[in-house]
Amino acid sequence: MTPSKHQFAGKCKRVKLSDICVKGKSSLRQKDIANDGPYAVYGASGIVGSTSCFQNAKPYVAVVKDGAGVGRANACNAETSVLGTMQALIPKEGVDCRYLLHLVRSMRLGEDFSGSTIPHIYFRDYGKTLVPFPDMSGQRQIVEALDDIEKQRLTATKQIDRLDSLVKSRFVEMFGDPIDGTFWAKRKLSNLYEVKSSKRIYAREQTKDGVPFLRLADIGSLIDSGISDSGLFISEERFEELRSKGLVPNPGDVLVTARGTLGRCYIIKPSDCFYFQDGMITWLAAIESSPLPSYLLAVFNNPHFIEELNRNCSGTTVKYLSISDLANVAIPVPPLELQHEFETFVTQVDKSRFGGMLHLLNSLSGIMHASFFSVADTD
């Protein structure tokens, strides 16, 4: 269901983000937290401690301004503080804090971060963005609608998480722990796949339409919800040229996130038609000796395996999984018949996971964006 335009009551205008919120204090370091008082301190993952005083008196929105979670936004209570890795955004008078939260989230901050080593976004830059700003009546209607959608998304996500846990448990039952307790000989990924990257796409090659061009965050969205809309494209002619040279992944190939949250995998489907960012995403092109994609995905979803992956990757400040790092990773390879047995189990679980819940997530996500777009088009 797509919401109609002008569905929210009240007047709406376009303003700069900096016109409806101001920067709050955000100078605390982790070592400054003494846990000596009642006032909470927020970090990227939530409350990380407490202090005897607070920096921000009103409810506000905190945005992760650097590191792997750059751009993530969360609501914070009054009389609290945030670490220096977060940017506090204090709503001005006449601005509902929950509206500000949904608005900032809809901006998808962090996808075009600056900085060659550490991803970093600045309020002085994104504060100039023109955003829809309805009156208080319109804000509250939007908040009510989007809060309800968020609750439904949370319920569906929890159900999917339970099914993921079921798959992980079955994997360990069949194959043991891939790091400490495997029953099978290990082989390097370089012996199981052709480990490589995509062809670099320059800004001048991007077009207004054509074949979608996905960045790191877009691949994450594909993994999480099955949908992604980067708004970036390359021409169909350029895509076909790349395909003719064997530079486009085939069904069954695997894309692996190589920066930020490492080791997240997306299996290429027959219906997929997109290209992807080089450097941030590594391509495992299947060869004759490759294990089944469902088995590889389960290996990379194992928490012990991910811990080992993070210990052995490149980078001291921001972890980076280089092509050579990934090529040298060794995984246990059980007999193919056991992999097929596991794949059958995963297929049955996926019928529950994707038959209804993922469709719900996709629909709800579309409604969220359409709601903002309808407001943005209102004068």
Q: Show pLDDT as tens, one digit a residue, over the chain (379 residues).
A: 333 343 444 578 889 999 999 999 877 888 888 899 999 999 887 898 999 999 999 999 999 987 667 888 999 999 999 998 899 999 999 999 999 999 998 888 876 544 444 567 889 999 999 999 999 988 998 888 888 877 877 777 788 788 888 999 999 999 988 887 667 899 999 999 999 999 999 999 999 889 999 988 889 888 877 777 777 899 999 999 999 999 999 999 999 999 878 999 999 999 999 999 998 899 999 999 999 999 999 999 998 899 888 887 876 566 789 999 999 999 999 999 999 999 999 988 877 665 455 555 555 555 555 555 454 444 4
CATH topology for the 12-149+364-376 domain:
Adenine-n6-DNA-methyltransferase TaqI; Chain A, domain 2 (3.90.220)
Domain 185-333 in the same topology as domain 12-149+364-376? yes
Homologous superfamily (CATH) for 185-333:
DNA methylase specificity domains (3.90.220.20)
Q: Sign (positive/negative) of CA torsion 121, 74, 320, 339?
A: negative
Q: Which residues pair with 15 in a beta bridge?
A: 131
Terminal CA-to-CA distance of the chain, rounded, Å? 23
Q: How many alpha carbons lie under 13 Å from residue 182 in its C-beta half-sphere?
A: 16
CA distance 253 to 350: 19
Q: Beta strand 39-43 with 46-51: parallel, antiparallel or unpaired?
A: antiparallel
Helix (H, G, I), strand (E, B) or coil at 51: strand
Residue 367's pLDDT is 58
Give which of 53, 55, 20 is closest to 36, Cα–Cα: 53
Q: How many CB atoms lie within 10 A of CB 67?
A: 16
Dihedrals φ, ψ of 285, to 5°? -85, 125
Residue owning tokens 């997240």: 264
Per-domain residue ranges for the chain? 12-149+364-376, 185-333
